[in-house]
């Protein structure tokens, strides 16, 4: 084989490598590739368990990816992902088999925030078949901002029962957050703002 | 301020900037055009008044930044190409509070028909950043001016520190300059100097050293930006003329709309011995038009421009896309990540003075996200419900409905 042929073959091989390497790399993308082996094994086991139980797996994988992106340690990621899995399982047990994925995700977030399961059941029963995703999101938000769990649970339940819409609840979350940033006590901020939610609710029903 | 590293070769860099792809949402090009009047006066020279047009084009991505600017002056009845500047900067990501920068620059300085020259230079900087609230850097570099009495390269070494106090960014720098030049055999006081290499009876080759200490304050709020700086030069009478010992200048930019601003400024500019340019007083007044205006001028490093996000919006933009908008002024980068990006950071693109935008496919449902400004801490966007992320932080929660 002449040097010219060798050169041509070499160039062809390089060209082929250049074209196929990125494709191969793309096929092999593993969202958990950056996790250490032990933590990755835990996360994969939890994903398998979620699959087996009919729970959504996306929140579990997503939490692991989030931990990796935020440079959290592998064992911590595994622990947090396990909490998500257990919360999803509890949310499903609480909200029932017919809870959709968003409700399960929001319910799991509320449970992780420390909202008692009974509060989720009350919201479900008060919703008359409506999706309780937004009330659950707002509930978890209020508690994460420092509103006592019982106060937050009662207020949201009362508003939900009184016919408050999703936009009302999202607006409530926003204004309470602003009040707290301005120095108001979290519980006072919620109760004060809850009274201003435009629903036809007897005053006595708003928790004092 | 003595900056031997600034200002020719503007056209190639400008063309390069325009030719570079915007690579989706990870890089951007911004443009500005300033039109106004400039008045300057140097000792012993006739004061110059000119109308000027100053275009400015910048390409910015996380790693590479290119900037090209120039100015044309109406001198008599004809327009004349005056200053020009092209800069390329490569910045590494910040790891363990450290990042590095390589800066290459080519420039042309124009005071008048006599006082003008060109220079190329390269610098390396190492930044140490503390929680986006302060930092410091060390730098070293070399510059080569042309058409001046300097017969060697100019060695530049320096350090700087910055901090944020309220809405203001305060920066202090120390820069030392060292070079060989053909100078007068006597200093500015008339005293005869000893020369290592005498060129003739009146001129000799001299080693020059001097150091600049400079403080800068940048403050901006709403539609107003203010910059002020002052400095002092250390060095002997051979290298530092009395009119360049101290200097101060200030400028203000008032944004009348997201695309147009009034610019006013003035002050004293010290001599630039390495480029043979005298000290001068100046004042300028103009109007600036901007398309996706990017960075505010200043020697402050990228990491220092964090400030609060004033508004966060998300709205449907087609069948499956959502337009995320963040309103924040005076920053260099804004990123977003969430479950809809597999928690991979996405650079937002600047669409106005304080408007950053990303167009992303986000399915209906409940989503979690974070935003980050100038490489700082990942935070939930304002006015969204939040929850703990489990990693000592918080995420914002979006509920997308179709």
Give the distance, in angstroms, between the CA of residue B47 and the centroid of all CA atoms in the same chain: 28
Verify whether the Cβ–Cβ distance A173 to B339 is below 8 Å.
Answer: no
Burial class (CB in 10 A: 0-12, 13-18, 19+), B277: buried
On whether both A51 and A10 belong to a single domain, the answer is no
Give the distance, in angstroms, between the CA of residue A101 and the centroid of all CA atoms in the same chain: 10
pLDDT band at B182 (very low <50, low <70, confident <90, very high): confident
Interface of B with A in 338-367 (CB under 8 A): 339, 342-345, 365-366
A83 interfacial to chain B (CB closer than 8 Å): yes
A114 interfacial to chain B (CB closer than 8 Å): no
B215 interfacial to chain A (CB closer than 8 Å): no
Query: How is domain B7-291 classified at the architecture level of CATH?
Result: Beta Barrel (2.40)
Give the distance, in angstroms, between the CA of residue A170 and the centroid of all CA atoms in the same chain: 16
ipTM of the complex, rounded to two decimals = 0.81
B394 interfacial to chain A (CB closer than 8 Å): yes
Judge whether A120 and A104 are in contact, CB under 8 Å. no
For residue B194, the model assigns a pLDDT of 62
Is residue A207 included in any domain, yes or no?
A: no
pLDDT band at A13 (very low <50, low <70, confident <90, very high): low
Interface of A with B in 32-71 (CB under 8 A): 58-59, 62-63, 65-70
Output the CA–CA distances (angstroms, integers) from residue B196 to A124, B183, B199, B262, in the order listed.
Answer: 92, 12, 10, 52
3-state helix, strand, coil in chain B (%, to 5): 5, 60, 35
CA distance B381 to B367: 13
Q: B383 to chain A: nearest residue by CA?
A: A174
On whether both A99 and A23 belong to a single domain, the answer is yes
pLDDT at B280 over 90: no
Domain residue limits, chain B: 7-291, 305-400
- Name the residue among A31, A69, A106 with its Cβ closest to that of B366: A106
Measured between its terminal Cα atoms, the distance across chain A in Å is 92
Look up the pTM and report it: 0.61
For residue A59, the model assigns a pLDDT of 94
Question: Which of A104, A139, A164 corresponds to the end of one domain?
Answer: A104
> What's the farthest any 2 CA atoms get from each other in chain B?
86
Q: What is the mean pLDDT of residues B318-341?
A: 87
A86 interfacial to chain B (CB closer than 8 Å): no
Question: Which of A63, A79, A104 corresponds to the end of one domain?
Answer: A104
On whether both A180 and A150 belong to a single domain, the answer is yes
For residue B2, the model assigns a pLDDT of 36
B337 interfacial to chain A (CB closer than 8 Å): yes
Q: Which of the pair, B27 or B39, is modelled with greater confidence? A: B39
Mapped onto helix, strand or coil, the DSSP state of residue B319 is coil
Q: How far is B355 from chain A (nearest CA, A)?
A: 21
Q: Are strands B334-338 and B27-41 parallel, antiparallel or unpaired?
A: unpaired
Contacts of B393 in chain A (CB under 8 A): 70
The percentage of chain B sitting over the pLDDT mark of 90, rounded to a whole number, equals 29
Is residue A120 included in any domain, yes or no?
A: yes
CA distance B156 to B119: 14
For testing contact with chain B, the best of A70, A76, A81 (most B CBs within 10 A): A70
On whether both A84 and A13 belong to a single domain, the answer is no
The segment with the largest mean pLDDT, out of A108-122, B101-115, B234-248, is A108-122
Give me Rg for the CA atoms of chain B: 24
CA distance B396 to B380: 4
CA distance A204 to A200: 12
To 5 degrees, how large is the angle CA B350–CA B219–CA B265?
95
Tokens of A130: 């409506």
Q: Which of the pair, B196 or A176, is modelled with greater confidence? A: A176
For B163-175, the pLDDT digits (tens) are: 877 667 899 999 9
Contacts of A56 in chain B (CB under 8 A): none
Q: How far is B57 from chain A (nearest CA, A)?
A: 33
Give the distance, in angstroms, between the CA of residue B310 and the centroid of all CA atoms in the same chain: 24
Judge whether B136 and B262 are in contact, CB under 8 Å. no
Contacts of A62 in chain B (CB under 8 A): 339, 342-343, 368
A2 interfacial to chain B (CB closer than 8 Å): no
Verify whether the Cβ–Cβ distance B343 to A106 is below 8 Å.
Answer: no
Is residue A205 included in any domain, yes or no?
A: no
CA distance B347 to B365: 23
Verify whether the Cβ–Cβ distance A105 to B378 is below 8 Å.
Answer: no
Contacts of B368 in chain A (CB under 8 A): 62, 66
Domain range spanning residue A80? 18-104
Packing angle of the helix pair A58-69, A37-53 (nearest 10 deg): 160
Verify whether the Cβ–Cβ distance A133 to B399 is below 8 Å.
Answer: yes
Packing angle of the helix pair A101-112, A133-144 (nearest 10 deg): 20
CA distance B323 to B400: 12
DSSP B94: P
B395 interfacial to chain A (CB closer than 8 Å): yes
Question: Which of A70, A104, A138 corresponds to the end of one domain?
Answer: A104
- Name the residue among A67, A112, A144 with its Cβ closest to that of B391: A67
Judge whether B7 and B84 are in contact, CB under 8 Å. yes
CA distance B133 to B304: 7
Verify whether the Cβ–Cβ distance A109 to B378 is below 8 Å.
Answer: no
For residue B123, the model assigns a pLDDT of 94
On whether both A99 and A133 belong to a single domain, the answer is no
pLDDT band at B6 (very low <50, low <70, confident <90, very high): very low
The length of chain A, given as a count of residues: 208
| Beta partners for residue B109, in sequence order | B117
CA distance B252 to B249: 11
pLDDT at A6 over 70: no
Q: Which of B270, B272, B277 is nearest to B247 (CA)?
A: B270
Contacts of B97 in chain A (CB under 8 A): none
CA distance B135 to B164: 10
On whether both A88 and A123 belong to a single domain, the answer is no
pLDDT band at B219 (very low <50, low <70, confident <90, very high): confident
The overall average pLDDT reported for chain B is 79
For testing contact with chain A, the best of B93, B390, B393 (most A CBs within 10 A): B390
Verify whether the Cβ–Cβ distance B378 to A63 is below 8 Å.
Answer: no
Output the CA–CA distances (angstroms, integers) from residue B48 to B45, B111, B391, in the order listed.
Answer: 9, 9, 61
Output the CA–CA distances (angstroms, integers) from residue A78 to A32, A82, B89, B194, in the order listed.
Answer: 11, 6, 40, 74
For residue B300, the model assigns a pLDDT of 35
Contacts of A106 in chain B (CB under 8 A): 366
Is residue A206 included in any domain, yes or no?
A: no
For B292-305, the pLDDT digits (tens) are: 544 333 333 333 33
Q: What is the mean pLDDT of residues B348-377?
A: 88
- Name the residue among B339, B385, B391 with its Cβ closest to that of A62: B339
Q: Around Cβ A201, how many Cβ atoms within 10 Å?
A: 17
Q: How far is A58 from chain B (nearest CA, A)?
A: 9
A9 interfacial to chain B (CB closer than 8 Å): no
For testing contact with chain B, the best of A69, A87, A88, A134 (most B CBs within 10 A): A69
The lowest-confidence range among A43-57, A64-78, B196-210 is B196-210
For A135, residues 6+ apart whose C-beta sits below 8 A from its C-beta are A123, A127, A156, A160, A169
Contacts of B390 in chain A (CB under 8 A): 63, 67, 76, 80, 83-84, 112
A181 interfacial to chain B (CB closer than 8 Å): no
Give me Rg for the CA atoms of chain A: 25
Q: Is the domain B305-400 a CATH 2.60.40.10 member?
A: yes
Q: Which of the pair, B239 or A190, is modelled with greater confidence? A: A190
């Amino acid at each position: 084989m002449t040097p010219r042929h060798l050169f041509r073959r070499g160039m062809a091989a390089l060209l082929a490598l250049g074209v196929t390497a990125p494709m191969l790399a793309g096929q092999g993308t593993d969202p958990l590739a950056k996790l250490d082996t032990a933590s990755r094994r835990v996360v994969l086991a939890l994903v398998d368990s979620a699959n087996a139980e009919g729970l959504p797996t996306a929140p579990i994988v997503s939490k692991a990816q989030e931990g990796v992106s935020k440079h959290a340690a592998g064992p911590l990621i595994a622990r947090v992902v396990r909490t998500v899995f257990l919360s999803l399982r509890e949310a499903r047990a609480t909200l029932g088999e017919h809870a959709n994925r968003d409700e399960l995700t929001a319910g799991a977030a509320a449970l992780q925030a420390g909202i008692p399961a009974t509060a989720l059941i009350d919201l479900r029963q008060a919703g008359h078949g409506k999706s309780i995703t937004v009330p659950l999101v707002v509930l978890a938000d209020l508690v994460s901002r420092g509103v006592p769990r019982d106060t937050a649970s009662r207020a949201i339940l009362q508003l939900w029962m009184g016919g408050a819409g999703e936009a009302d609840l999202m607006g409530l979350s926003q204004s309470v957050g602003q009040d707290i940033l301005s120095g108001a006590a979290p519980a006072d901020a919620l109760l004060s703002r809850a009274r201003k939610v435009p629903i036809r609710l007897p005053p006595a029903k708003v928790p004092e | 301020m003595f900056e031997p590293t600034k200002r020719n070769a503007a056209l190639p860099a400008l063309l390069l900037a325009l030719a570079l792809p915007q690579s989706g949402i990870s890089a951007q090009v911004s443009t500005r055009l300033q039109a106004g009047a400039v008045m300057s006066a140097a000792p012993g020279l006739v004061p110059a008044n000119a109308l000027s047009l100053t275009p400015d084009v910048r390409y910015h991505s996380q790693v590479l930044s290119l900037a090209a600017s120039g100015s044309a002056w109406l001198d008599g009845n004809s327009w004349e190409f005056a200053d020009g500047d092209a800069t390329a900067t490569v910045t590494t990501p910040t790891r363990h509070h450290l990042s590095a920068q390589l800066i290459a620059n080519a420039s042309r300085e124009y005071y008048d028909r006599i006082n003008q020259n060109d220079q190329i230079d390269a610098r390396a900087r190492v930044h140490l950043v503390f929680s986006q609230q302060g930092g410091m850097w060390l730098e070293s570099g070399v510059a080569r001016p042309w058409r001046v009495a300097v017969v060697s390269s100019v060695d530049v070494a320096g350090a700087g520190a910055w901090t944020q106090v309220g809405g203001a960014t305060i920066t202090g720098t120390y820069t030392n300059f060292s070079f060989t030049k053909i100078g007068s055999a006597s200093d500015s006081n008339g005293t005869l100097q000893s020369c290592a290499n005498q060129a003739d009876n009146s001129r000799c080759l001299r080693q020059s050293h001097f150091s600049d200490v400079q403080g800068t304050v940048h403050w901006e709020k709403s539609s107003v930006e203010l910059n002020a700086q002052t400095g002092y030069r250390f060095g002997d009478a051979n290298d530092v003329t009395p009119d360049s010992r101290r200097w101060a200048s200030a400028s203000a930019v008032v944004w009348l709309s997201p695309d147009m601003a009034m610019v006013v400024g003035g002050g004293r500019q010290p001599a630039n011995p390495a480029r043979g340019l005298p000290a001068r007083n100046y004042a300028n007044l103009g109007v600036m038009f901007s398309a996706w205006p990017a960075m505010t001028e200043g020697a402050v490093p990228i990491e220092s421009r964090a400030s609060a996000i004033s508004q966060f919006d998300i709205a449907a933009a087609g069948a499956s896309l959502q337009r995320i908008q963040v309103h924040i002024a005076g920053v260099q980068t804004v990123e977003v990540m969430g479950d809809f990006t597999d928690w991979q950071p996405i650079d937002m693109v600047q669409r106005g003075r304080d408007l950053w935008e990303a167009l992303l496919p986000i399915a209906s449902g409940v989503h979690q996200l974070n935003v980050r400004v100038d490489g700082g801490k990942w935070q939930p966007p304002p006015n969204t419900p939040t929850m703990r992320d489990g990693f000592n932080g918080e995420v914002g929660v979006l509920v997308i409905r179709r």
